[in-house]
Structure formats: C-alpha cells, structure tokens
Amino acid sequence: MGILDQAPISGNFITKALEIARSVASKPVAVRRVSNMPVKEADFANVIIEEARKRIMKRARGAVAPLSCLRAIEASMKSPTYMDGVKREMELGHELMTGAQSSAMQYAFFAERTAQKWELPGGKITYKSTKPLPINTMGVIGCGTMGTGITISCISVNIPVTLIEVNQQLLDRGMAFIKRVYERNVKQGRISLAMAQKQMSLVNPTLDYGQLANVDCVIEAIFENMKLKKEIFKKLNAVCKPSALLCSNTSSLNIDEIASATTRPDKVAGTHFFSPAHIMKLLENIRGKYTSPETIATVMTLGKTINKVPVLVGNCHGFVGNRMMFHYTAQVSKPEHKLPWFLVIFCII
C-alpha cells in the first residue's frame, strides 16, 4: 500500500503515521502488486552478489545448488519483470532436478539410511530383532587426534567421558586441544559459552585405568600396534564391568586377535572413526567372529547417537574404507598412471 515507502528514517514515527492516516482517511486505498513493481537495482547489488558468490565457492566445495540459488536471486534483481525472474528460477530448478548431483545426493540420502538397517548373514538377526544396551558413560583410551575427536563427539551429545593417557603431558596436550576446539566453536557462534563449559566439564582426564570400572563402553584409540592394543584390552577386561563393551578404533588390524586378549570376545567390536573424528561422519563398525548381535546393535545405535553414519562391516584387513584406499593408491602410483603427490592426496580426500 505504499506505507513503508513513507516511513521516516528518523524522527517521530507516530506523528508520521497519523499524518499518513489522515491523508488517506476518506480516500480509497490503491493496492500495489509487488510482482508488477519495477526492480530498481541498488548500486551495491553487484557487490553483494559477488561477496555471496565468494563465500559459496569457499563453503559449498563444488555443490551446484547453492550457486544456482544465488543465480535465481540475481535474476530476480536484474530481470526486466517479475515473470522473467520466475522463468529463470524455473529453468535453474529444472537443471538441478535433472542434473547428476541431484541423482547422486538422492542416492547418498537413501544409502546412508539403508546402511544403518543392518542384518547378519541369513537374515534372521537384524536391527529390528536386537535390542541395544544403554550407553550412558564412555571411556576413551588415548589423547591423540583420534581419541580427542571421539571424546568431543561423545561430550557434544552430553555423554560423560573418562579420558585415559599414559602420562600427564600427553593428557594435558589432549585436553588443551579439546579446549581449543570448543573455544573456536564459541567464537564462530556454533555453541554458547555456557554450553561449551557444560560439555567440557563432562570430560574426566585421568591416568588411572581404575576409573573405567563403571563405564558402559570403552573405545581404544592408540596407534596401530597389535601387541600394545592386546595389552590394553587385557587390562580393560580386568578393570571394566562384565557388561561393558570394549571397542577399538583400529583402521586395519584384526578384531578377533584383539578380542583374544579378553574373556569376553562377544563384547568386543571395532569402531573405526575417520580423522578428524569429531567432524567426519562415517563410522565403520566391525563385527568379529564372536561379536554378539547385542554388541552390534549397541555400537550402531551409539553411532547414530553421536551424529555419525554408522556402517556395519566384516573383519578383514583394512575393512572397507582403507581396503578401497589401498587399491586406489596402488593404481594411481603405477608408472602409467603416475600423478603428482599432491593430486593423489587431493583425490583421496
């Protein structure tokens, strides 16, 4: 109706409102359709569009839809008429709907959900027929990149974590990293300071394995050394309550051999996170020869709880993710396929 056009930049709004009301009190009001109004492009419109384009190019990382949205907005600002802008928006929408990325994203959407609907060979034992154990407390062994990332993933959904290291220096370094991650998230507005402090308080850093006595699940996240892992699992077997799950973040080692160091192989599973563990979504859950359906159901549910995409895989060298990468890197390393090292890394990422 044109009222907002007359709003004063400063001054008394009530006085101006009364003035407008008196001027139209005895006159019919002409309703204007926005779609019929000419678009007057502001001088700074191009600057805004370019700035938005730079941000999208940086954050979208190859996705076409965000740029198409920007092009639709740009068309609405620069087209002669409203319908010209609508027509361009429809064209862009059709390109997206029939494009390769649309098909790929739909496939990924349904594949992620299908992967979580696990079943064991034979089809009699499935995610529907097996009840997971409750996981209210966690233990994490190791304060390296993986251990701290797993810890952040757990405390981010308010699961308390007992974090174990072999010496105070490594423990302090790990806690400092977790603190920096939370400080950065607060600075970027992803989380409030109060919530960050609350979640940080859920970490219990210690050198004492005895403090794992009552946790529901422990994830070992040390470097790939079978002898050391078996020593740790033997210790966990003695310390943790009988119902506790003992999991390894190993990326390629044999889960059954790790489980052989315990008297509860049915409670042992692989939980392979990808680096950085608090950001990457994929979680490979590895079932060993003796891993029980209850344990499988629990680690799969835990994956969803900590906002990962859990996938159940079998026990073989490299499992699935690294097994594919082994062959991929072997191919690109052949003389006839030789690529510069930085391209190899880029392709793997």
Q: Catalytic site residues?
A: 272
- DSSP class per residue in 87-117: HHHHHHHHHHHTSHHHHHHHHHHHHHHHHTS
**259, 235 contact by CB (below 8 A):** no
The H or E element spanning position 345 is helix 341-348
Strand order in the sheet with 217-220: 203-206, 161-164, 138-141, 217-220, 245-248, 268-273, 282-286, 309-313
Cα separation, 151 vs 99, whole angstroms: 39
Cα separation, 211 vs 206, whole angstroms: 8
Letter for the amino acid at 123? G
Q: Measured in whole angstroms, how far is the alpha carbon of residue 76 from the centre of its chain? A: 34
Q: Which two tokens stand for residue 99?
A: 């494009």
Residues 6+ apart with CB under 8 A from 268: 233, 245, 246, 247, 248, 255, 258, 259, 262, 288, 290, 291, 295
Residues 6+ apart with CB under 8 A from 349: none
Cα separation, 219 vs 277, whole angstroms: 12
262, 265, 266, 271 alpha-carbon torsion, rounded to 10°: 100
Q: Parallel, antiparallel, or unpaired: how do β-strands 268-273 and 203-206 relate?
A: unpaired
- Percent helix, percent strand, percent coil in the chain, to nearest 5: 50, 10, 40
SS3 label, residue 167: coil
Q: Which two tokens stand for residue 229?
A: 């892992």
